[in-house]
Chains A and B, each alone.
Chain A
Amino acid sequence: MLYELKNVSKRYTQSGKEILALDDIDLSIDAGEFVALQGSTGSGKTTLLQMLGALDRPTAGSVLFDGSDLAVMSESQLTRLRSRAFGFIFQAFNLIPTLTAQENVETALVPLGMGATERRTKARAALGEVGLAERGGHAPAELSGGEQQRVAIARALVRTPRVILADEPTGNLDERTRDEIIALLEDLWRDRQQTIIVVTHDSQVAARASRRLRLDQGRIVSPDLLIASPSPSASPATTSPSPTA
């Protein structure tokens, strides 16, 4: 089991009001799963994703990742974990506007203390994997939305993370580009058994996942839809529902 969440709650204060973002969540995720988190705005799906990515700590409960509780780790331990185990993809791409596509991919390798030459080599290779080998020298402003998201995917992949966490990766893309991106993610899942956790409103995206979780007011409410684990020759999605933890 890669993740095990027990009694996880998250409260925070906004404009003087206390918000209960997550309410006593229990959840397990295995390595190699493609999990889609769905729900309306404010349901807590992004907060849950941030818990899973060690970007935030729960107010209560435990978040075990590979046996270690992220809730009690120090900030420096969490930072180290993020630099090695997780890759993030954001809705707004979150590329550094002043750096080129290749340099943006390199930013993921800076915390590893790698030399400049090795960094550049790996970044070029990652861009090649997403089909942008020729675009490495362009600034984000010179790339299309789909290209920018590919750069973000390359940045997430370049250090071979245990988990890729994507927050609405197709939210800012047109239909055709969305399909390209989600196909890319699906290929990663199928070909590399990459663990992927995606927050999405888009049912088309969710349909590609092996497991869908629906959140409402900080709770997992919908039955866990489990799709058989992919093999290189498997065809997509047959669902057999199983109850949530």
Chain B
Amino acid sequence: MFWTYLYRELRRRHRQAILTSLGLALGICLVVTVSAGASGVHDAQDQVLHSLYGVGTDITVTKNAAQGTGGPMQFGMNPGDADQQGKHFSRDRITGTPGIALVPASDVTSVIGLQGVDAAVGGLTLISVHVSGQFARVVGESSGSFPQPGSSGSGSGTPTQAPIKITSFSIAGVDVANQGIGPLSSATISSGRTFSAGEAKARVVVLDSGYAKQNSLSIGETMKIGGLKFAIVGLSKSASAGANVYMPLTRAQALAGEKGQVNQIYVKATSATQITQVKKEIKATINGATVTTAQDLADQVSGSLSSASKLANQLGKWLAVAALIAAVAVASLLTLSTVSRRVREFGTLKALGWKSRRIVAQVLGEALVQGLLGGAVGVGLGFVATVLIGKFAPSLQATVGSVGIPAAQASAGPGKFSGAGGAMRALTHTVTVSLHAPISLNLLAVAIALAIAGGLVAGGLGGWRAARLSPADALRRVD
């Protein structure tokens, strides 16, 4: 009798039942779409962050360079003797990333020994700048000597414009014994191979595939870095603008003349719950260290991805909640209206000896079926919406500063290296990601649970109303 009565009743007022279900479906659809979209944005952010310092790296440690250290690169473009004027020259300079200080590799060992640390490796990021061209000539006064900086110019000639070519590329030194964390862990080897554990001192490099293509370099060839030839053994692909060249850490240290020094420490915690504690301990262990976690970087992300994230979290979330509440409210009102129209019917059943809870169960059952129907349609609509998002959503960009350097600071002005703009850009990472909106099993379960809850709320209110009916009052009422 229960299912017969339920089915017949829903069939009788099928228009209202469909309207109620559609209302719930709309609310569920919005919840599914916004949650899937937020999840997709979260995945995109993870992708951005992972591309920065690799999957498996929870914390990066750097140290800001002290004020007054560093200074401009010297390329010796002053020809010196007159017979050098007009002649070709070529200079290479390899230096550490500006603004980041070097720390001894023993600090890595100290970090490994901290509680909550699963693994830690050191890294060295460098910039190689190549300057080539012609020495300037002096014309005019007979001294032939090249004007010195600070001179008044009297008694000296005027130097001509000398054509100079400046190229640069970034280098990342990789601990070949532990490549699971560190700068290369965020990249995939698209051809060739990565380093083997025995190549700590080998003159081998893995190139970023985009850089290799740009400079017509391929596996098996060699490239000159710091006057030395390195064999190209592999090409890598990274979602973000990683280094152009990866080489064993020992080699990078030798090139920079900084044996036993690193300027990045990559740390993996034993679990996510340990990260905050590990961060504290590293700060206490390494004086002046800048310790950055994934959450810190997430807070620095700017760009359209960041805007999408805020939109999903704030406006999107509240919109979905508001829509769901409205849908449940409409369903409840419609159910109450239905109960009001069936007062005589329920009064008759009570007169026949039906218990209130039996009548409440009937009302609840009808509301629940509508809720489940609305949930199914809502999930279906949400699925379609997420597919459309994946198909038509524009790519989003995220910009995040290099570890320890906020994006705003890192991208502020050319600094002293106006000729090495490409190197400066390596301090910020701009990643382009495609937005997807994945629907997980958890989200499906939540959507169905919300639909059931919506049905129960609507049915509960209607059932409460029906239960309160006195059979005498119900039969006294005129339809």
Inter-subunit contact B12/A79 (CB<8 Å)? no
Inter-subunit contact B5/A80 (CB<8 Å)? no
Task: Please tell me which stretch of B31-39, B85-93, B350-358 contacts chain A, meaning at least 4 of its Cβ atoms lie within 8 angstroms of it.
Answer: B350-358
Inter-subunit contact A55/B348 (CB<8 Å)? no
Inter-subunit contact B352/A82 (CB<8 Å)? yes
Known: A46-B476, A90-B475, A97-B12. A108 touches B1 (CB 8 A): no
What residues of chain A lie closer than 8 Å to B352, measured between beta carbons? 82-83, 88, 107-108, 110-111, 155
B8 interfacial by beta-carbon distance below 8 Å: yes
What residues of chain B lie closer than 8 Å to A88, measured between beta carbons? 348, 351-352
State how many residues of chain B have any CB contact under 8 Å with chain A: 25
Of chain A, the residue at the smallest CB distance from B9 is: A98
CB interface residues, B 459-479, toward A, < 8 Å: 470-472, 475-476, 479
Bound state CA distance, A99 and B353, in angstroms?
18
Nearest CB of A to B370, in Å: 16
Inter-subunit contact B476/A84 (CB<8 Å)? no
Other than the given A108-B352, A111-B353, 12 more pairs (CB < 8 A) read: A50-B472, A53-B351, A55-B471, A56-B472, A80-B353, A82-B350, A82-B353, A90-B348, A107-B352, A110-B358, A111-B352, A111-B358
Bound state CA distance, A108 and B353, in angstroms?
7
Bound state CA distance, A98 and B10, in angstroms?
9
Inter-subunit contact B354/A111 (CB<8 Å)? yes
Bound state CA distance, A147 and B479, in angstroms?
21
Nearest CB of B to A72, in Å: 17
Bound state CA distance, A167 and B348, in angstroms?
12
Inter-subunit contact A79/B355 (CB<8 Å)? yes
Of chain A, the residue at the smallest CB distance from B7 is: A98
CB interface residues, A 77-131, toward B, < 8 Å: 79-80, 82-84, 86, 88, 90, 92, 94, 96-99, 103, 106-108, 110-111, 116, 119
What residues of chain A lie closer than 8 Å to B348, measured between beta carbons? 88, 90, 94, 96
The residues of A with any CB-CB pair to B shorter than 8 Å are: 46-47, 50, 53, 55-56, 75-76, 79-80, 82-84, 86, 88, 90, 92, 94, 96-99, 103, 106-108, 110-111, 116, 119, 155, 167
Inter-subunit contact B12/A107 (CB<8 Å)? no
Known: A56-B470, A90-B475. A98 touches B353 (CB 8 A): no
What residues of chain A lie closer than 8 Å to B349, measured between beta carbons? 96, 107
B344 interfacial by beta-carbon distance below 8 Å: yes
Inter-subunit contact B355/A111 (CB<8 Å)? yes
CB interface residues, B 5-27, toward A, < 8 Å: 5, 8-9, 11-12
Bound state CA distance, A110 and B361, in angstroms?
14
Of chain A, the residue at the smallest CB distance from B472 is: A56
CB interface residues, B 353-385, toward A, < 8 Å: 353-356, 358
Nearest CB of A to B376, in Å: 24
Known: A50-B472, A106-B1. A96 touches B355 (CB 8 A): no
Bound state CA distance, A84 and B344, in angstroms?
21
Known: A83-B352, A99-B5. A50 touches B12 (CB 8 A): no
Of chain B, the residue at the smallest CB distance from A53 is: B351
Nearest CB of B to A81, in Å: 8
What residues of chain B lie closer than 8 Å to A106, measured between beta carbons? 1
What residues of chain B lie closer than 8 Å to A97, measured between beta carbons? 12, 345
Nearest CB of B to A84, in Å: 7
B154 interfacial by beta-carbon distance below 8 Å: no
B295 interfacial by beta-carbon distance below 8 Å: no
Closest 9 CB pairs of A and B: A83-B353, A98-B8, A56-B472, A111-B353, A94-B348, A82-B353, A55-B472, A55-B471, A50-B472
A-contact 0/1 string along B149-163, CB 8 Å cutoff: 000000000000000
What residues of chain B lie closer than 8 Å to A86, measured between beta carbons? 351
What residues of chain A lie closer than 8 Å to B9, measured between beta carbons? 98
Can you sample 25 A-B contacts with CB below 8 Å? A50-B472, A50-B475, A55-B471, A55-B475, A56-B470, A76-B355, A79-B350, A82-B352, A82-B471, A83-B353, A88-B351, A90-B348, A92-B344, A97-B12, A99-B5, A99-B8, A107-B349, A107-B352, A110-B354, A110-B358, A111-B354, A111-B355, A116-B1, A119-B1, A167-B475
